[in-house]
Structure 1
Amino acid sequence: MVGDGKVFTLAQVSEHKTPKDCWLIINGKVYDVTKFLEDHPGGDEVLLSATGKDATDDFEDVGHSDSARDMMDQYYVGEIDISTIPKKTTYKPPNQPHYNQDKTSEFIIKLLQFLVPLAILCLALGIHHYTKSS
């Protein structure tokens, strides 16, 4: 391995994110995959989208073969200083009021208490007007 013992920060790795200088992090190791861009079976876009950052999840999600994992040794340049990688946070939904079915039914009841008498009044006035004009 070329970079034995060399330790890089995330900031240092993130400086290498162009097609002419392409580094990424997989499982705590830093790889210079610039020369592999044209040969990557998934295309260079896949590697370029993961450059300058921790690409472990992307790499593992694809399910690379043992031969692909063995091939990584030739692109190894060092280790990542894990203290420079931000910790993953879990999603915490915002506090929202719980949907209360009873409040909805209360609103509907109040609405009907207003609309039903109004409809009866309109009907009574309509009948009164109809009978007067006949």
Structure 2
Amino acid sequence: MSSSKVFTLEEVAKHNTKDDCWLIIGGKVYNVTKFLEDHPGGDDVLLSSTAKDATDDFEDVGHSTTARAMMDEYLVGEIDATTIPTKVKYMPPKQPHYNQDKTPEFIIKILQFLVPLAILGLAVAVRIYTKSEST
């Protein structure tokens, strides 16, 4: 088949079953229906990559040069890249510092100072008391 045909994502997305499976890899469209049963990773792997740009899925696996050479046999055309949504990097929303028990910040800071001071004072008092007991 000629690779001069240009498809939209919507057109390619309709081919998403075991009886009719098309993939988009590297800007090209492949009809892999006849290859589903022979795919070493199983047909589910290919079917899960339909209706989207599967280039990253394909590259992440690290296919051999033999596998890449086989692709020409299944080529049906090219994808109109303008029909594929651009990837947006996820940015989590800014969130204020989480204060689980809702204690005001100034109380926490005061306690961070006073608790160690109280422990030190208690240790000194015990030391003085035990010295006075022994004499």
TM-score by length of 2: 0.73
Distance 1:105 1:22 in 2: 62
Q: Which runs of 5+ in 2 are unaligned?
A: 112-135
Matches within 5 A, 1:99-118: 103-104=104-105, 106-107=107-108, 109=110
CA distance in 2, matches of 1:58, 1:70: 17
Q: Which residue is 2:7 aligned to?
A: 8
What is the letter of the counterpart of residue 3 of structure 2?
A: D
Between the aligned partners of 1:91 and 1:18, the Cα distance in structure 2 is 30
Residue 46 (structure 2) pairs with residue 29 (structure 1): no
Matched, 1:53 2:52: yes
Separation in 2, partners of 1:91, 1:4: 34
Deviations 1:6-35 (A, max 9, x none): 000000000000000000100110000000
- Equivalent residue number for residue 17 of structure 2: 18
How many residue pairs end up in the alignment?
Answer: 108
Give 4+ residue runs of structure 1 displaced > 2 Å after superposition: 107-110
1:97 is matched with: 96
**Consecutive unaligned residues in structure 1, runs of 5 or more:** 111-134
Residues 38-95 of structure 1 deviation map (CA, whole Å, 9 limit, x = unaligned): 0001111111111222111110000000010000000000000000000000011102
Question: The residue matched to 2:48 in structure 1 has which SS?
Answer: helix
Which residue pairs with 2:64 in the alignment? 65
Amino acid at match of 1:8: F
In 2, the alpha carbon distance for the partners of 1:23 and 1:44 equals 12
Q: In structure 1, what is the Cα distance between the partners aligned to 2:48 and 2:28?
A: 18
How far apart are 1:99 and its partner, in Å? Answer: 5.1
Do residues 77 (structure 1) and 76 (structure 2) align? yes
Once the 2 structures are TM-superposed, how far is the Cα of residue 104 of structure 1 from its aligned partner? 4.1
CA distance in 2 between partners of 1:70 and 1:105 (Å): 67
Q: Kindly report the root-mean-square deviation, in angstroms, between the aligned alpha carbons of the 2 structures.
A: 2.1
**Partner of 2:114 in structure 1?**
none
Identical-pair percentage? 67
- How far apart, CA to CA, are the structure 2 residues paired with 1:13 and 1:7? 10
